[in-house]
Structures are given as structure tokens and as C-alpha cells.
């Protein structure tokens, strides 16, 4: 009797111990299903890249001597749901066992768990052999602590994996965190590394998606998609990043520019999240670059922190808060997303760039996601769940375990401050400092309430006024309230009026 092993679209790790040996009794299953394309409206490139990478993975498994059953979206036998296909395949292969690797999404985890309960078959879940921490580790680690600080978690991870650590246990360079050095504006030099990524032609796959009427948005770029399809390509991307971008990663980590979309970011999130790359190999490679004098410590430390710190930490938050995390909305925000989230057509240049880039390439870097798009959404009071669904759909690297805590928690403070000790909000001043967006914008970043005043400004002050009861006593937000206290009642009224006016016509901004 056969054993079926399900491989999900974000489990494309050829080094998983499942594949150590070939066994004729084991059939590996990969499936393209509508339940996965349709749970949220996705960017075309996300669906294309995932299906193309799954097909590549299946072909390589077959070439390696494994038995593989690949169900395409347009396969007549496809029942368009993971579990319905599993039931049919279990019958077809007269399987005695069905196994899967731990899903990262609560939704899929739950669907498989419930399906298994109703089966006469033997079922089991294997480790995905990818993450550095256990799903449920965070609550244990922080037990008894009021605030679950990322920095505390990160230092433990540095010690546990002996990363950037000296023999006596102290952090390399005498500091755990070099964030302070990593906040420079990009003056235009050094030049952004050229896009080295080999384009792939996915026109045939795109035609199939269209024939099946899979709803998508964003630019498909089906004939020249540049996301890695397999581990070999992902490793080549890693090497290019280490040589050409890592040396400047730290300096310009928070910078934004209309002349350089990617700056010195790694673009490795897709390869990491679908498990083509292992987080430890990525950070050890970066550490090696530092030890060999190829990249400065501040850059390497910043990069390592994103991966062994933030990435693992948000995953722990996700599992500690699910189910129900996606419904949190402590600030009671509920405005629908303005229409330009789907077109990029707004006169606010920062948003036009950040959203335009997201629609064009299915990627934007962290500060664009947090301090341009997320910041605006929070200041305007957009519905956090609708925003979460937009982020989950638009980004190539968006999988709920990592996207939801970042969007709902870090960026929208909708969880009441589990991740962020204070809301990430800023006026035009921050965007002007970190980017060239304000130059040439239709709005004036120095004005607060004239008709051409930057919308961020009035919305920023109004945010503090609206949420005074909640944040007025938060020491970390004291400065904003101090400034507000210096404003006269007429100024406060004008700010409120301008903010209300903006909120009424978000679509037209």
C-alpha cells in the first residue's frame, strides 16, 4: 500500500529529509487548487511564481527518481481543494498512510487536521525542517513577561545559534544592535546594484490561469518574471546579494527613492518563505562575508536580525494569537481602502511610488510597507482586515504567518501593542527625511491644512487627538502630545477639520 506525502506550495525544500531516499511506495503530491488561488485576491506574479516553482520542484523530484503526482489547475480530475484531492488520491492509490509537513498557515493546518480526524487512514505531520524555533515557543520564552520584546528574543537567538558571537559569549563588536548606524538617506551613490535576476517566460502558465478565470491583480510580467524558481537560482541570488548589496544594506536599510526601487535589499523573502533557502545558511553566509572583510558589521548584524530575529519572532506571535488574530481591531478603524490601492493612481507621490511598485513587481521594501502605505492606512483609519487582505494578496512573499503580524500588529497596532510598543506613525517629515518622494509631489510637505498640504500632516495630528485617551499617557508618545498642548484651539480645530475633509475624499487624493 502506498504512502502519500503532500508537499504544499511553500514547502519547496529539496533538502528535506523526506527526499533522502527514493521509495517506490511513496508518492509525492503537489497540487494547484482554486482553494489556494482564491482565498484572497492575489497579485498575478505571486500565483505565477508559486505554480512555476512547484512545477519545477516536481520535475526535479521526478528526475531524482521519486514518484510524483502533480495536479495542474486545469486537470479534469482536480477537485480544487487540498483535502478533496487528498481523499480522491488516497482512494486512487489505495493509500495506507497520508503524511504532510507542518503547514505555516493556521487555515491549512486546521483543514488538514480536521480532514485527518475523519479518515480511517493513518495520517501524520512531519516537521518542515525550516524554522529555527518551534511554532509554540514564544509564549514559553516570554512566560511571565508583560511585553514580548523582539530584542530580547533576538539576543537569545544569537546566543543559541552562536551568530556574531565572541568566544566569551559577548556580541561581536561589543553591541547587539547597530540600528543606530543604519538610518541613512540614500544620496544616489553608491549605485543600486543592477538587477541580475534571469527573467523566466511564464506566458503558457499565464494563459492557463486566464483560461481558468483565476482572478488576479497587478502586472503579470508573464514573459519576464524574475523570481527564483528553485534552490539553485535562489542560491545564486543569495551570492549576488552578499557581493553587491550587503555591504550597503545597513546604511540604506530605511532609505527610499524614486530612482531605485530595491536599493540594497536582498529580495530573498520569496525564496526563504517557500523554503528554497534555509534561514541559517543565509545568515551564516552573511556572517562569513563580515569575517572575510566583505561587508561591515552594522550591515551584517542588521540583516541577521531581520532573519533570525524578526522573521522567527513574528511567526511565534502568529501561532500564539491564532485563530482570531485577523479580526483584531482595537483602534476601531473601518474605512474601506481607497480605489488607488488597486491602481497606484494617487497624487501623493510616496504612495503612488510604493503602491505602483507593489503592483508592478509584487514587492516593496520594509519601510515602504511600514512608513508609507501602512502609516497612511493607520493615520487615515482604514479597516485593518481589508488592509491585511491587500498585503496578503499583493506581495510575492506574503504568507499569512509572516504578513498578518507585520500588517495587523506592527503596522496597524490593531492587536493593541503585542508587537509594537507604540504605533508606527509619522508626518511628512519622516518621509521627506528618508526619501526623495516629496520633491515633485503635488502636495506640500511643510503645510498642515491648506488645500495642497500633505495629507499625512493633518491626519498625523488628528490621529493623536482621536486616540488621546489611549495614547496620551504613553511615555513613548509624550513628545507628540507635548507639541499638541502647545497648539491653540483654533489650530487644533483646523487640523481636525482638514483631517475630516481628507477622510471624506480618500479616493480623490
Q: In the complex, which residues of this chain contact ligand SF4 (CB under 6 A)? A: 348-350, 428, 431-432, 437-438, 441, 443, 445, 454, 456
Decide: is 397 part of the binding site for ligand FAD (CB under 6 A): yes
What are 70's strand-pairing partners?
30
| Closest distance of CB 366 from ligand SF4, Å | 17
Going by C-beta distance under 8 Å and a sequence separation of 6 or more, which residues neighbour residue 12?
A: 53, 54, 57, 230, 231, 274, 275, 276
- Size of interface with ligand FAD, in residues (CB under 6 A): 28
Which of residues 272, 274, 308, 428 is near ligand FAD by CB under 6 A? Answer: 272
Tell me the window of 21-29, 128-136, 159-167, 307-315 that interacts with ligand FAD (CB under 6 A): 307-315
**Residue 296 vs 445, nearer CB to ligand SF4:** 445
Residue 185 binding ligand FAD, by CB under 6 A: no
Task: Quickly count: other Cβ atoms within 10 Å of residue 52's Cβ.
Answer: 21
Residue closest to 241 by CA, chosen among 300, 322, 184, 153: 300
Measured from the CB atom, the residue of 98 and 289 that comes closer to ligand FAD is 289
Q: Of these, 266, 346, 426, 435, which contacts ligand FAD (CB under 6 A)?
A: 266
Q: Which is nearer to ligand SF4, 29 or 354 (CB)?
A: 354
CB of 430 to ligand FAD, least distance (A): 14
Confirm or reject binding of residue 436 to ligand FAD (CB under 6 A): no
How far apart are CB 355 and ligand SF4 at their closest, in Å? 12
Which of the listed partners (ligand SF4, ligand FAD, none) does 456 bind, with a CB threshold of 5 to 8 Å by partner kind? ligand SF4
Residues 6+ apart with CB under 8 A from 204: none
CB 153 within 8 A of CB 312: yes
φ/ψ bin of 476: left (φ > 0), alpha (ψ from -120 to 50), beta (otherwise): alpha
Q: Which helix or strand (DSSP H or E) is residue 137 part of?
A: helix 137-141
The whole-angstrom separation of Cα 124 and Cα 101 is: 9
With CB cut-offs between 5 and 8 Å by kind, which of ligand SF4, ligand FAD, none does residue 438 bind?
ligand SF4
- Which of these, 313, 387, 390, 323, lies nearest to 109 by C-alpha position? 323
Task: Decide: helix, strand or coil at residue 165.
Answer: strand
Stretch that binds ligand FAD, among 100-108, 259-267, 293-301, 472-480 (CB under 6 A): 259-267
Q: Is 273 in the site for ligand FAD (CB under 6 A)?
A: yes
Q: How far apart are CA 405 and CA 321, in angstroms?
A: 9
Stretch that binds ligand FAD, among 33-41, 179-187, 204-212, 265-273 (CB under 6 A): 265-273
Residue 111 to residues 65, 82, 86, 214, 434, Cα–Cα distance (Å): 30, 9, 11, 22, 44
Task: Give least dist CB 428 to ligand SF4, A.
Answer: 4
Contact residues: ligand FAD, CB under 6 A? 265-269, 272-273, 303, 306-307, 310-311, 314, 365-366, 369-370, 374, 391, 395, 397-398, 402-403, 406-407, 410-411
Amino acid at each position: 500500500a502506498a504512502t502519500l506525502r503532500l508537499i504544499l506550495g511553500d514547502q519547496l525544500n529539496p533538502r528535506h529529509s523526506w527526499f533522502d531516499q527514493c521509495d517506490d511506495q511513496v508518492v509525492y503530491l503537489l497540487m494547484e487548487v482554486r482553494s489556494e488561488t482564491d482565498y484572497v485576491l492575489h497579485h498575478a506574479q505571486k500565483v505565477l511564481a508559486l505554480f512555476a516553482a512547484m512545477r519545477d520542484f516536481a520535475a526535479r523530484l521526478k528526475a531524482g527518481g521519486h514518484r510524483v503526482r502533480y495536479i495542474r489547475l486545469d486537470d479534469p480530475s482536480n477537485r480544487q481543494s487540498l483535502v478533496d484531492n487528498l481523499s480522491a488520491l488516497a482512494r486512487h492509490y489505495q493509500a495506507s498512510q497520508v503524511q504532510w509537513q507542518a503547514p505555516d498557515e493556521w487555515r491549512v493546518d486546521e483543514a488538514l487536521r480536521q480532514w485527518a480526524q475523519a479518515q480511517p487512514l493513518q495520517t501524520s505531520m512531519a516537521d518542515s525542517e525550516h524554522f529555527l524555533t518551534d511554532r509554540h515557543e514564544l509564549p514559553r520564552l516570554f512566560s511571565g513577561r508583560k511585553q514580548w520584546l523582539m530584542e530580547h528574543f533576538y539576543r537569545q537567538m544569537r546566543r543559541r545559534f552562536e551568530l556574531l558571537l565572541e568566544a566569551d559569549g559577548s556580541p561581536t563588536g561589543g553591541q547587539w544592535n547597530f540600528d543606530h548606524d543604519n538610518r541613512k538617506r540614500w544620496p544616489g551613490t553608491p549605485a543600486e546594484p543592477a538587477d541580475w535576476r534571469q527573467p523566466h517566460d511564464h506566458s503558457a502558465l499565464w494563459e492557463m490561469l486566464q483560461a481558468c478565470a483565476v482572478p488576479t491583480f497587478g502586472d503579470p510580467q508573464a514573459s519576464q518574471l524574475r523570481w527564483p524558481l528553485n534552490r539553485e537560482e535562489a542560491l545564486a541570488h543569495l551570492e549576488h546579494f552578499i557581493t553587491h548589496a550587503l555591504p550597503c544594506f545597513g546604511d540604506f536599510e530605511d532609505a527610499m527613492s524614486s530612482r531605485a526601487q530595491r536599493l540594497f535589499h536582498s529580495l530573498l523573502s520569496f525564496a526563504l518563505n517557500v523554503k528554497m533557502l534555509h534561514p541559517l545558511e543565509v545568515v551564516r553566509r552573511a556572517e562569513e562575508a563580515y569575517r572575510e572583510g566583505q561587508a561591515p558589521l552594522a550591515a551584517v548584524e542588521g540583516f541577521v536580525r531581520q532573519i533570525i530575529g524578526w522573521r522567527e519572532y513574528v511567526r511565534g506571535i502568529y501561532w500564539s494569537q491564532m485563530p482570531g488574530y485577523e479580526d483584531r481591531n482595537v483602534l476601531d478603524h473601518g474605512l474601506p481602502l481607497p480605489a488607488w490601492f488597486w491602481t497606484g493612481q494617487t497624487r501623493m507621490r510616496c504612495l503612488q511610488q510604493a503602491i505602483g511598485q507593489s503592483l508592478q513587481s509584487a514587492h516593496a521594501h520594509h519601510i515602504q510597507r511600514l512608513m508609507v502605505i501602512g502609516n497612511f492606512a493607520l493615520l487615515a483609519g482604514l479597516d485593518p482586515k481589508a488592509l491585511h487582505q491587500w498585503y496578503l494578496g499583493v506581495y510575492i512573499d506574503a504568507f499569512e504567518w509572516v504578513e498578518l503580524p507585520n500588517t495587523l500588529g506592527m503596522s496597524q497596532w490593531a492587536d493593541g501593542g503585542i508587537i509594537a510598543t507604540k504605533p508606527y506613525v509619522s508626518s511628512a517629515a519622516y518621509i521627506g527625511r528618508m526619501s526623495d518622494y516629496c520633491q515633485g509631489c503635488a502636495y506640500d510637505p511643510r503645510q498642515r491644512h491648506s488645500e495642497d498640504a500633505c495629507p499625512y500632516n493633518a491626519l498625523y495630528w488628528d490621529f493623536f487627538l482621536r486616540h488621546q485617551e489611549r495614547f496620551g499617557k504613553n511615555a513613548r508618545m509624550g513628545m507628540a502630545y507635548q507639541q499638541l498642548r502647545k497648539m491653540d484651539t483654533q489650530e487644533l480645530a483646523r487640523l481636525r477639520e482638514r483631517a475630516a475633509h481628507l477622510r471624506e475624499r480618500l479616493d480623490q487624493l
